[in-house]
A and B are shown apart, each in its own frame.
Chain A
């Protein structure tokens, strides 16, 4: 493959030209500048991922990303007011709110001065500018040469650095709201670093929102470093803003005895990729990774997991549900690596899809790489139409066909939301599911 040098696409060329144009304005010291330079070099060498790159086999960004949107400017007062005027997806849930407009943390829409004890938060731009002590830990949860992560590492403009100090139990969720504005497509490269120290506990919620029908492009990387015995719940939702391109990476580094649960739900973006890199870096880690997508039209959503069991006694549970209508495409790739020392690893992965139309497609690719001999690992994938017998049973009880289907689909997707411990957040995701189903009727 090394001898294949594809011709640069328009989007690729624009992204390659972007870095030299903006590098002087990107935050950080000279060391950070070198790190950006190196990441840029990795992206230039790899280019946009395409179907010959195994990890991107079903999401050919070279073909799917026609143009690269210009980077969004820092929000002006009108943008901030517009963001403030729309309630966020999590508006009804008590939370500490941090709002990023077009990729920039907006202090006026964030509870920075009302953080719970033991929680420290600052904008990434400020952290890079002042040489914050946590800056050195950027990238620690992402031992990958993924080109989209490299692009983010080169161009990350702003975001959040969050620290939960040792033993702190954060009483309410911390909600990161990413709002995109404007009628012209713009790009944002955001990075969030979350350090949850030993024995601390945090619920982190991310919502990604934007206007319908605008091709905003987001490349967001969230890194979570969980100290020994920490407990982290994470929920991500992309449910507002049709037409958007949502490239998302979650890097998780889990120390001994941590409990980690993450759920990601996609309904709105035209093109999305959510990739999770999780390293089980200590003994006895318990992790649950779940989510799903509800898609129609020509939407394309890819979920790709790479779970690296590097220490013994880890437990991982993955459950993903896709509901595909129209000509939508769903992709689930899940790779579980069990290293030689990671004995007694217990990993189970399941992907289930319901296809509601002839034109919808689902690609499932589970992979196991097991180098230890005393492990339990399993995976499964199902793909099919709604159960006709069940549908008849519900209709025979008086439910009209659309209602019967909605009830079945709500229950189907609900299975992937059960691991969300926070009831208010789970209810928000259930509402998003119900709204998608109502729109379908």
Chain B
């Protein structure tokens, strides 16, 4: 279970999150929607531990453990995974060697044995097939020259391999055509599990047709201003965010 309590965050002295509280239970898919500038991406970065953000108050608990006390890599080892809105290109680092380094770093941090290369290859291959990621993409430098859709699918592939407890999808739908969106959403849906929770950040209701949320939360001015079921997303699609901007 992820509990965010009264979170206040500033960047360069500018308040971005102003007392945000949100609880996401195991097995739950929670969608966070909101207009530009409402603090959605900041929320995802603060959970994952990006430097540059100044958390002035509040806490983020994953199964009772305060994530704010952990370095980003320790948060990852504790089970947090952020699928980036704009996955980064890493010239010179092969996709396979990156995946191996990431998987084994997390296993090491949890006191588990490193995965053997054949085991890792098998897992990567299986996950890649489900996400329609061709083998030759795995031989290239990570994300270098990948299309927007390929990068997003690569994020989902990493999510599948790392088996996180808590997944954040930051605008996974941005820049995707409908076919790519379906593939990515299918990949995410395959990972839905009673022991795993998701925070799905999106501008548009469209993604939620494919990743159907259990709860929907509206963010405005750095707080959750309304929560409801999946029908709330449809309501937002029809009426826009105008009602919440003033809030």
Contact = CB atoms under 8 A, between A and B. Distances in A.
Interface of A: 388-390, 392-401, 403-404, 407-408, 410-412, 414-415
B90 A390 contact: yes
A392 B72 contact: yes
A401 B70 CA distance: 13
Contacts of A408: 90, 93
B77 A393 contact: no
B88 A399 contact: no
Nearest to A388: B51
Contact of A396 (B76, B90, B141): B76
A428 to B, nearest CB: 18
A395 B93 contact: no
A400 B73 CA distance: 5
Contacts of B71: 395, 400-401
A403 B93 CA distance: 13
Contacts of A388: 51-52
B101 A396 contact: no
A407 B50 CA distance: 19
B72 to A, nearest CB: 4
Nearest to B52: A388
The 8 lowest CB-CB distance pairs between A and B, nearest first, are A411-B92, A398-B76, A398-B106, A395-B72, A397-B102, A393-B88, A398-B105, A395-B73
Interface residues of B, number: 31
A394 B162 CA distance: 13
Main secondary structure of the interface of A (DSSP, over half): helix
Contacts of B103: 398
Contact of A398 (B51, B52, B92, B109): B109
Interface string B27-51: 0000000000000000000001111
A414 B91 CA distance: 10
B82 interface: yes
A387 to B, nearest CB: 8
Residue among B51, B71, B88, B162 having the largest count of chain A Cβ atoms under 10 Å: B88
Interface string B44-79: 000011111000000000000000000111011100
A440 B102 CA distance: 20
A408 B91 CA distance: 9
